[in-house]
Amino acid sequence: MLKINTQAEWIDRANAVLPAGGFGNFDPGIIIARGEGSHVWDEDGNEFIDYLIGSGPMLLGHGHPEVIEAVLEQLPKGMTFFANNAKGIELAEAIIDAVPCCEQIRFVASGGEADMYAIRLARAFTGRDKILKFEGGYHGMSAEAQMSLAPSRQVNFPQAVPDSAGIPEGVAEQMLIAPFNDLEAVSALLDEHDDVAAIMVEPLQRIIPPLPGYLQGLRDLCDKHDVLLIFDEIVTGFRLAYGGAQEKYGVTPDICTLGKITGGGFPLAALGASADIMKHFDKAQVGEEGWLMQLGTLSGNPVASVAGLKTMEVLRRDGVYDQLRATGAALQQMQVDALTKAGIPHQVCGDETLFDIYFTDAACRDYRSAKHDDPHRNTLYNDTLRAHGIFKSPGKLYPSFAVTEADLEQTRAAVEKAVDAISAA
């Protein structure tokens, strides 16, 4: 008789073979067995409404039938080739049609890769080395990206603080760190440093929205100082709007990175820019010295490409983003209503398509201000939500198109329980 492992047994097995018992991504105390639509189940059969959705890529929900059909049609034709394939070319065309800054793209397998190559591309194009990024901004796992991502100590700007062991000290010398939403700080740094290749920014930094005019201000400063502007749209691409943050905010960067939704739940990401910038991937155009080597075993994988193509087709249909925003607005309002009624200080931070609650009266405008007055309150709130069937990150809530009215009602009940828990604490 086949033995079915309990979740506790799987956790024990994980602790034996995985550092810290996990993949490094999420709470290793839960083992997900399967997902369907807006729900996931753990290995003990507990069911949750999924507001993590794979950290963003499952915008249509788990197992969307049209995406599954496209993938199953592709599988017998081949899973990967390390060569050009028609579906990858079609996906590149669709991305270029959708994203304002892209005239050409290159595929990679992860958002972290895309961000790493975007930094390298900016350096190749400008001939400069320094990169300006924002404290708290997440751009993957490269050495540059791991500067001042989540520093536990506050230092004077623009000093970079490494968030990981194993990074040479010299990397920090090539990074300038500024506070998000502060144009004056950026302007002063660009006046002082004439060797900046690019400013790299999440247009919606984690869940912190840009102040009105901020992104255009960055665009103007980059133009003034002949610096490239990189939008990290790994999260915001095809989420904030079909054309991503570039469409929503009306600001076009020089380079952007895309991931998560782009692959329809499969490992695929991309970076794109004008043909003039992207020529550095073509040795025939720029020669040995200007050439940026880039390759990857799964880049442009046809299975991921068909999943991405079908996802994008669904997203182009009338009313889909109105539906997503309505769902997000409902999720925001139910929490605001319950917390306000209980007299608990809070701020909704983010966009209807991606947000969370900070337990504070203070405005959340950058890494240092976007925090809870009492972190334990946030822990208790999220633990109570989990106990009542809500699966989410402790710092983000991702709405999806699969969320139903029944899901919203169950979420509302869970929110009321969570508010009661922190009121009683």
- At 109-132, the pLDDT tens digits run 999 999 999 999 999 999 999 999
Q: Which long-range contacts (CB under 8 A, 24 or more apart) does 138-143 make?
A: 138/202, 138/206, 138/232, 139/112, 139/115, 139/200, 139/202, 139/232, 140/110, 140/111, 140/112, 140/113, 140/114, 140/115, 140/116, 140/234, 141/112, 142/112, 142/115, 142/116, 143/167, 143/168, 143/171
Count Cα neighbours of 238 within 13 Å in the Cβ-side half-sphere. 33
Per-residue pLDDT, averaged over 153-163, amounts to: 93
Residues of each domain in the chain carrying CATH 3.90.1150.10: 319-424
On the question of pLDDT at 1 being above 60, the answer is: no
For residues 393, 399, 405, 406, the Cα torsion angle rounded to the nearest 10 degrees is -20
Given a contact cutoff of 8 angstroms between Cβ atoms, the answer to whether 229 and 254 are in contact is: yes
Q: What's residue 334's pLDDT?
A: 98
Angle, helices 405-424 vs 375-387, to 10°: value is: 140
pLDDT of 4 strictly over 80: no
Give the DSSP H/E element, type plus range, for residue 32. Answer: strand 32-36
Domain with CATH 3.40.640.10 in the chain: 65-315
Q: Which of 138, 249, 321, 358 is catalytic?
A: 138
Q: CA 252, CA 247: separation in Å to the nearest integer? A: 8
Per the document, the length of the chain is 425
Task: Please confirm, yes or no, whether 138 is among the known catalytic residues.
Answer: yes
Q: Which of 260, 310, 392, 396 is catalytic?
A: 260
What average pLDDT does range 353-376 have in this prediction? 96
Q: Active-site residue among 182, 232, 351, 366?
A: 232
> Span 181-185, mean pLDDT?
98
319-424 in CATH: which number? 3.90.1150.10
Tens of pLDDT, residue by residue over 78-101, are: 999 999 999 999 999 999 999 999
Classified as helix, coil or strand, 63 is coil
Rounded to two decimals, what is the model's pTM?
A: 0.97
Fold of the CATH domain 65-315: Aspartate Aminotransferase; domain 2 (3.40.640)
pLDDT of residue 153: 86
Asked if residue 249 lies in contact with residue 295, where contact means CB atoms within 8 angstroms, the answer is no
